[in-house]
């Protein structure tokens, strides 16, 4: 199996303080990977690093033949300004950025694709509504429609199912499985261990340092989880320079 | 009717030029104001309008009431402050409003001091409150070229600008243009403020930007329509303000801004999107 993404002794962080510390490993193409761990463990940071928003403090991320345009990213819903006056249709249509870019028009075929994507996530009829009028679940459906349009080889999801009802989670999971079936690489940051065990064959347990990475059942063993929980969340202002930084 | 609405413009050259000035200004300042508002930067716009003053004042010190010198000085000072504050906000923990706030009083005080060094109170008054009725052709040309450029530039960055407001994380994942777009947008704000400065002065320049935008917010939930509505409100208040000031012999700049203020007040009360009337008159709820 070809690798989609590789990490070599990767350290990511803010202001020189590591949030992901010395991570090494590979994500094979077509993998369905869950990234789990306590709050502050560096899960979102890792996704930001993969997208290229955050530069590594140390080590390296190799994307092989996956270039930036092949990566679709779903930010945490809290990072989105839902009071902005924009319609569901326009929000979803932004998934075509790769094709339309700054000025490109949106043609009949594109409009058809947008309609299909909106239909697939079950939001038909919501197109003209302002995103501010959507519920949390509907908003997440709209963002999944945007992901569908992005048609990317690598899909990164940051807490895609946070505070959603079971019906919405089930519907969106179906899309995740469909992507998996289409041999796309999916990396999702998740908190619900039960859901991870049921739906994600591979898991990475992060607690700033990688605790375990592999088959989900083995990664999420009681022993590993305990280890992850012991991670101190402290962000020590006087922390010394990391010795194995080289 | 003719006497009321048409005659002032038909008979007086300065009224015609003022009319052209306020209409042209509304075309680009109002949509820019929409984005300032949606990015919660309304006050930042005000601060930048003040930042223009010391630059224009330096131009005045060097060359007197010279169009070119004051324009260049204003742009340079405005851009310097906008870029500095933008960078500070982007790359440090300090929020943009805090970064800009420091410049507000300093700029005003510095500008007034510089003008007073050489000019009279009349000059000072003109710089602070503008002189819509004294717009000459070169000044109109400056205003027109700035706003034309802004309109094209705004059209060019419209998509990433909207994305930067709604979902900056997503924009960064698909395009590296976020920072450039942000800085370009701030420059457009400055250009429009300098253009408005010639007509309305430092203290009122931002009025043509923010009042129509704030009013338009109450009428639609779509950013494109909102921009169009804000332009319409800007144009109507410009024309209305000019006419009122002509017939009632009121100062023109304040009359224009007051007219926009009336539209704002009406929108707050009557606007269908979050206006007071809707909130205060509970209607029967719907089935679904």
The per-residue pLDDT for A199 is 95
The verdict on B180 touching A (C-beta cutoff 8 Å) is no
pLDDT for residue B263 is more than 90? yes
The per-residue pLDDT for A127 is 94
For residue A84, list chain B residues with Cβ-Cβ distance below 8 A: 38, 162, 165-166, 223
Section A100-122 average pLDDT: 89
Side-chain-side CA neighbours of A174 within 13 Å: the count stands at: 10
| Nearest residue on chain B to A51, alpha-carbon basis | B173
pLDDT-derived band at A246 (thresholds 50, 70, 90) equals: very low
In this structure, of A14-18, A26-30, A208-212, B171-175, the range with the lowest mean pLDDT score is A14-18
- Residue A232, helix vs strand vs coil: coil
Which of B12, B21, B244, B55 is CA-nearest to residue B131? B21
Q: What ipTM score was computed for the predicted complex, to two decimals?
A: 0.84
Q: Determine the number of helices (DSSP H) and then strands (DSSP E) in chain B.
A: 13, 0
| Nearest residue on chain A to B167, alpha-carbon basis | A80
What does the alpha-carbon distance between residue A82 and residue A132 come to, in Å, rounded to a whole number? 5
The 10s digit of each residue's pLDDT in A49-98 is: 999 888 899 899 988 778 878 899 999 988 899 999 999 999 999 999 88
The verdict on B172 touching A (C-beta cutoff 8 Å) is yes
Task: Enumerate residues 192 to 251 of chain B having a beta carbon within 8 A of any beta carbon in chain A.
Answer: 217, 220-223, 226
Look at domain B2-268 and name its CATH class: mainly alpha
B287 vs B107, more confident: B107
- Residue A74, helix vs strand vs coil: strand
Compute the mean pLDDT over every residue in chain A, rounded to the nearest whole number.
Answer: 89
CATH 3.40.50.300 segments of chain A: 1-66+153-235
The per-residue pLDDT for B82 is 76
Nearest Cβ partner for B172 among A53, A84, A85: A53
The 10s digit of each residue's pLDDT in B237-260 is: 999 999 999 999 999 999 999 999
The CATH number that domain A1-66+153-235 falls under is 3.40.50.300
The 10s digit of each residue's pLDDT in A154-197 is: 999 999 998 899 999 999 999 999 999 999 999 999 999 999 99
The 10s digit of each residue's pLDDT in B179-214 is: 889 889 989 999 999 999 999 998 899 999 999 999
Strands (E), chain B: none
The 10s digit of each residue's pLDDT in B89-105 is: 667 766 666 666 777 78
Query: What pTM was computed for the model?
Result: 0.87
Q: Where are the domains of chain B?
A: 2-268
Instruction: State residue B53 phi and psi, 5-degree precision.
Output: -55, -50
pLDDT for residue A244 is more than 70? no
The 10s digit of each residue's pLDDT in B23-38 is: 999 999 999 999 999 9
What does the alpha-carbon distance between residue B279 and residue B276 come to, in Å, rounded to a whole number? 5
């Amino acid at each position: 199996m070809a690798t989609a993404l590789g990490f070599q002794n990767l350290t990511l962080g803010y202001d020189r303080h590591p949030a992901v510390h010395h991570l090494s490993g590979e994500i094979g193409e077509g993998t369905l990977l869950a990234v789990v761990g306590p709050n502050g463990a560096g899960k979102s940071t890792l996704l930001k690093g993969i997208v290229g928003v955050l530069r590594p403090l140390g080590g390296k991320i190799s994307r092989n033949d996956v270039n930036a345009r092949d990566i679709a990213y779903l930010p945490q819903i809290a990072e989105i300004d839902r009071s902005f006056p924009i319609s569901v249709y326009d929000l979803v249509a932004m998934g075509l950025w790769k094709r339309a870019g700054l000025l490109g028009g949106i043609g009949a075929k594109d409009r058809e694709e947008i309609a299909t994507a909106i239909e697939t996530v079950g939001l038909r009829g919501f197109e003209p509504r302002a995103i501010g009028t959507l519920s949390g679940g509907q908003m997440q459906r709209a963002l999944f429609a945007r992901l569908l349009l992005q048609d990317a080889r690598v899909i990164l999801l940051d807490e895609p199912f946070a505070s959603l009802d079971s019906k919405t989670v089930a519907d969106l999971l179906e899309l995740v499985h469909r992507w998996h079936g289409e041999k796309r690489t999916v990396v999702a940051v998740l908190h619900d261990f039960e859901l991870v065990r049921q739906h994600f064959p591979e898991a990475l347990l992060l607690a700033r340092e990688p605790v375990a990475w592999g088959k989900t059942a083995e990664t999420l063993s009681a022993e590993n989880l305990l280890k992850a929980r012991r991670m101190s969340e402290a962000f020590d202002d006087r922390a010394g320079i990391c010795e194995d930084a080289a | 009717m003719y006497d009321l609405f048409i005659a002032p413009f038909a008979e007086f050259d300065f009224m015609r030029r003022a009319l052209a000035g306020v209409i042209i200004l509304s075309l680009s300042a109002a949509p820019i104001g929409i984005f300032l508002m949606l990015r919660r930067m309304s006050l930042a716009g005000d601060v930048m309008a003040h930042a223009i003053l010391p630059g224009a004042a330096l131009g005045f010190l060097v060359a007197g009431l010279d169009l070119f010198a004051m324009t260049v000085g204003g742009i340079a000072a405005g851009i310097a402050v906008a870029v500095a504050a933008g960078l500070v906000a982007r790359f440090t923990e300090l929020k943009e409003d805090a970064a800009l706030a420091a410049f507000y009083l300093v700029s005003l005080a510095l500008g007034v001091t510089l003008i007073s060094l050489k000019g009279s109170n009349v000059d000072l008054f003109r710089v602070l409150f503008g002189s819509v009725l004294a717009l000459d052709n070169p000044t109109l040309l400056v205003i027109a070229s700035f706003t034309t450029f802004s309109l094209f530039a705004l059209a060019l960055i419209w998509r990433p600008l909207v994305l930067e407001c709604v979902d900056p994380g997503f924009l960064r994942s698909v395009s590296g243009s976020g920072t450039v777009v942000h800085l370009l947008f701030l420059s457009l704000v400055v250009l429009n403020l300098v253009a408005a400065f010639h007509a309305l002065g430092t203290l009122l320049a931002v009025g043509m930007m923010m009042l129509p935008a704030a009013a338009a917010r109450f009428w639609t939930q779509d950013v494109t329509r909102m921009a169009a509505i804000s332009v319409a409100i800007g144009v109507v208040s410009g024309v209305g303000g000019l006419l009122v000031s002509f017939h009632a012999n009121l100062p023109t700049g304040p009359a224009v801004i007051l007219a926009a203020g009336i539209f704002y007040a009406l929108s707050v009360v009557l606007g269908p999107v979050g206006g007071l009337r809707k909130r205060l008159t509970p209607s029967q709820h719907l089935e679904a």
